[in-house]
Structure 1
């Protein structure tokens, strides 16, 4: 059996059936910021992450909510579990959504890999068809920048160049699959170049933290199945918090398989 050349751990940080102890709930913004005129420091609540960045436009938190401290603890426990089977992490890519960034940071902490900086990648955001409010944000991003996260004490790769800052407002599930496949291909190309430059094939492992759709779409790509948009949407609605899968690429055939 040929040695695995690359591994990808794909983690979904939120789903429709997300554990209520991890999600902040529908009315959390009103409870914390009221009418939106409360100061940014109003997020300092016992059930919210203590290092949640202050953002000038607090109303954007309505579109970009965090997870709870309990959710952070569960992500840390997942990291502990992953550390038993994943011996090294070469990079960590995260959706720019706050709940994903917080999840990724906690998973890395649980793996004892806080030295790995987070790379925020817009292409890892969930399908736009599931986010009608986001379709209005064509010129203004509702997400915080790596610099904003870094000021709050998070280890961010501020030199990473995202594939694109723009997502098509009317994007379909098929469009989402296309951009996800493009992202995975860039991962392959980057680490293939590293293997060639080193002259040997030490396996690489990449951690990807996204949304409910993330592990499903990468599994679909790895298996080379045709995407059924209706079935895909139904499956996304039942993905639990921290659902995780591992993809391994065969060093000889370059084919992926889910594990």
Structure 2
């Protein structure tokens, strides 16, 4: 009986040790701030809504790979919707490098470096990547070394934003930008993101994510939400 109890105790201790090792090895530092780049205020759009200091009632989280053709196609209608519904709709864009785009991690890292300037710089660089996406395609860079690609991307980003080259060169050497890009990818994985573009509206994943949404689709998603919010406000006012 004593031998059996000792065996059970040993087994239990081994199990505790095993699970402690798992949780320790898979734990990661919690970021000091929420991942992603907040889209700059469009300053009012076609909706005719007045500026408000309260948070927008509708929030969009978009996971984009700057080297993904579907993201390039999705960006124009999404930005058009943001401008139309401003300030009632906000966007947080999360860089999510797809593994089958060889240079996507570096491009996402460049966005983080640009974001050190301000959120507008990150979005301006995103547009530049969309405009010259083929420049960093797998086929055109297959015979380039990683160092050559980094140097070329630093020059590209500096020219696109009108900034100094050393800023981007040092940014690519800074381990903090590497870590920030890894956090962005891990965050996307934690949300179940499997491709790009991938969208969440008010925390809920949109069906059909992984492909571009046109402007009319965004209208069909956002209009009913705003109408519902307006109806609730009117009902609350009437009850009061």
TM-score for both structures, normalised by structure 2: 0.27
Higher helix proportion, which one?
Answer: 2
TM-score for both structures, normalised by structure 1: 0.26
Q: Which has the higher contact order (CA 8 A, sep 6+)?
A: 1
Point out the structure with max Rg over C-alpha.
Answer: 2
